[in-house]
């Protein structure tokens, strides 16, 4: 008689929707016994079955239900989840997740049994967090992701993370969108010449800080009627050192045209302040290393005060460029390409701002009386 699908010569293996494997067997007591956890690889599940079969053959098998049970906590499962995710996540993302676990999630929920975590537990934990909206939303999203995996592994019956809009990020401060002339004035107001061109490139290209900090001389083209900058890499600060890697996403690998009026300022900066050679850093620190945003920030805040802004962040330069692209008539597809967005939702926030201009264009289609 042919064995049923999922059956072995002894014991049973069952693939789960999560692509993990569940192992079980009929013990000497005539009862069905399941492995205490699922397995990432089929061979591991087979190994567990072989070990159980060997115990029976040697006469040392005991009913696992009679042995003291080890409680699988949220902490245990979260650690396992991050370990299994390490190969598919970027180092910077892993560091962020580790920070959310250690500082936000595990102090309040780590010791709770995984299969005993309730909606009320999660709601109470979330309500008791300090007022850091973005951090809290990210931590909640991470917890929900981990619990979804536990659900796929059939370790819990339902995901207890069911707080409406808990993962929605709320702005603490409204972003500032500078005009083109204000970006120029901001750069002129910088008291340190080394960072003037950096601000101009940021304000007219929309590059992220990590992309700007990693730029080399060869990433700029300022001749032959073409003025552009190409994003090939990004740099992050991890455990006190700079780490160069790929940008945030595949869409971030892009070439962004620059206004021809910037060519002179950029060329002068590269000649005087960039490191030597085609691979030399375009915007190095005084020590010749990658620049740190904390070094630029105080000078930027002082320059912003000069042009009348009491609150200004470096990321506002990216927001300014995004707004200028939209006001210049960039389509949604154009905007996504220029900004390196993977989601049309992000670019739509800016292209929608051209609705008034579109109304004028449509009115202009009507023939004059």
Query: Would you name the residues annotated as active-site residues?
Result: 208, 315, 318, 341, 350
Give the rounded distance of the alpha carbon of 279 from its chain centre: 28
What are the helix and strand counts (H, E) for the chain? 15, 8
Rounded Cα–Cα distance for residues 135 and 167 (Å): 10
47-52 CB contacts, 8 Å cutoff, 24+ apart: 48/23, 49/8, 49/10, 49/11, 49/13, 49/23, 49/25, 52/11, 52/25
Report yes or no: 258 and 205 within 8 Å, Cβ to Cβ: yes
- The CA angle 349-319-346, to the nearest 5 degrees, is 30
Give the integer Cα–Cα distance in Å for 35 and 210. 46
Q: What are phi and psi of 223, to 5 degrees?
A: -150, 170
Contact 143, 161 (CB under 8 A): yes
Cα torsion at 220, 224, 225, 230 (round to 10°)?
-20
| CA 16 from centroid of its chain's CA atoms | 28
Q: Among residues 51, 5, 2, which one has the least CA distance to residue 25?
A: 51
The number of angstroms, rounded, from the C-alpha of 137 to the middle of its chain's C-alpha atoms is: 13
Give the number of residues written for the chain.
369
Distance CA 37, CA 42 (A): 13
């Amino acid at each position: 008689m042919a064995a049923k699908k999922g059956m072995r010569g002894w014991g049973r293996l069952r693939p789960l929707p999560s692509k993990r494997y569940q192992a079980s067997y009929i013990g000497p007591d005539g009862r069905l016994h399941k492995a205490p956890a699922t397995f990432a690889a089929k061979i591991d599940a087979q190994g567990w079955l072989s070990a159980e079969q060997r115990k029976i053959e040697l006469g040392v098998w005991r009913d696992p239900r009679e042995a003291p049970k080890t409680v699988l906590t949220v902490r245990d499962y979260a650690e396992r989840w991050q370990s299994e995710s390490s190969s598919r996540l970027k180092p910077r993302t892993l560091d962020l997740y580790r920070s959310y676990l250690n500082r936000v999630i595990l102090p309040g929920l780590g010791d709770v049994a995984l299969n005993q975590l309730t909606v009320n537990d999660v709601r109470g934990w979330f309500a008791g967090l300090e007022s850091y909206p973005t951090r809290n939303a990210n931590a909640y999203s991470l917890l929900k992701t981990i619990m979804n995996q536990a659900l796929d592994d059939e370790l819990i019956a339902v995901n207890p993370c069911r707080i409406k809009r808990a993962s929605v990020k709320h702005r603490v401060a409204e972003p500032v969108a500078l005009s083109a002339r204000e970006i120029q004035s901001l750069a002129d107001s910088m008291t340190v010449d080394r960072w003037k061109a950096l601000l101009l490139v940021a304000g007219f290209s929309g590059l992220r800080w990590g992309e700007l900090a990693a730029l080399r001389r060869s990433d700029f083209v300022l001749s032959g009627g073409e003025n552009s900058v190409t994003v090939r890499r990004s740099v992050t600060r991890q455990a006190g050192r700079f780490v160069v890697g790929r940008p945030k996403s595949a869409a971030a690998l892009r070439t962004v045209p620059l206004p021809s009026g910037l060519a002179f300022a950029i060329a002068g900066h590269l000649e005087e302040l960039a490191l030597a050679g085609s691979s030399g850093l375009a915007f190095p620190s005084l020590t010749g290393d990658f620049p740190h945003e904390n070094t630029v920030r105080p000078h930027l805040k002082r320059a912003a005060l000069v042009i009348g802004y009491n609150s200004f962040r470096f990321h506002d330069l990216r927001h300014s460029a995004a707004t200028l692209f939209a006001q210049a008539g960039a389509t949604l597809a154009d905007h996504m390409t220029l900004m390196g967005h993977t989601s049309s939702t992000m670019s739509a926030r800016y292209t929608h701002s051209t609705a008034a201009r579109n109304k004028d264009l449509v009115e202009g289609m009507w023939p004059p009386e």
